[in-house]
Amino acid sequence: MFPLRKTLMSLYRARLYPLLLLCGLLAVILVGLLVVGITSLSVCLIDFKWAWINTLISTVVGIALGIGGWFMLPVMTVLVGGFFQDTVIRRVEAAFYPDSGGPVAGHFFADLLYDIRFVLLALLLNMILLPLYLLGIGFPVSILLNSYLLGREFFEAAAGYHLGKKAAKQLGRSHRMNVYTGGLVITLATLTPLINLFVPVLATVWMVHLYHNCRRSGSQSPETNLKQETRIPSDNG
């Protein structure tokens, strides 16, 4: 239930290195655009007579964005990961689980709306936590919160590919400790320089393996089994 070895092996066997590089590039571009855009906007909106005040405010805004962005990275990985998840899942399953079948029918738009709601909720919760950083307890609380959020989100993305989100959520509850442990690993990785650029791909791979481990454990509910019967055929046969 701790698929670290399989996750690392998948990078080679599922030919994920190009996706890793693309994921890292996209993450850098998105973060750069966000920081530059908000800093430039603050410069345009703030115009005092004294240049040194404008410079000071711009510097403070830049530093605040850097610190805030660092702790918001766990949530941002979901946005970046959305571009790659289906491709990563297909490649990993073709390499390790060729008989897993195709995705559940009509899951794309339902999953998109679900992910948008998740990101908005996660951003709101992380913003609520910001005052706790002044008390010195914000960091550990954010680790606990984002471990739960990211574990649930990435597991439900991997399991929901075959089952749909509702059945995936039920399966995740049956294996909540393993899902939370995976979320903790993902959260710590998002706070690790360089590695955090590739977390969206690595997190998806991790949860694909965890999902198939859960399937083999035989803990799926009757509704989960029914969902699997509605999958569309896989291109792999």
- Does residue 86 lie within any of the structural domains? yes
- Does residue 72 lie within any of the structural domains? yes
Q: For 65-77, give one letter per residue: b (16+ CB within 10 A) or e.
A: beeeeebbbbbbb
Question: Domain limits at 187?
Answer: 4-216
Question: How many domains would you assign to the chain?
Answer: 1
- For residue 185, what are the CA distances in angstroms to 101, 133, 138, 165, 178? 28, 22, 18, 22, 11
Query: Is the model's pLDDT at 234 over the cut of 60?
Result: no
Residues 6 or more apart whose Cβ sits within 8 Å of residue 55: none
3-class DSSP assignment, residue 77: helix
- Does residue 9 lie within any of the structural domains? yes
The answer to pTM > 0.85 is no
- Does residue 236 lie within any of the structural domains? no
Residue 231: beta bridge partners?
104
- Does residue 227 lie within any of the structural domains? no
Of the ranges 105-119, 127-141, 152-166, 178-192, which one carries the lowest mean pLDDT score? 105-119
Query: Is the model's pLDDT at 52 over the cut of 80?
Result: no
C-alpha to C-alpha distance for 56 and 62, rounded to whole angstroms: 10
Question: What pLDDT digit, counting tens, does each position of 190-228 carry?
Answer: 888 888 888 889 999 999 999 999 888 764 444 444 444
pLDDT for 55:
73
- Does residue 228 lie within any of the structural domains? no
pLDDT for 79:
73
C-alpha to C-alpha distance for 120 and 130, rounded to whole angstroms: 16
Give which of 150, 157, 144, 163 is closest to 219, Cα–Cα: 163
- Does residue 208 lie within any of the structural domains? yes
- Does residue 226 lie within any of the structural domains? no
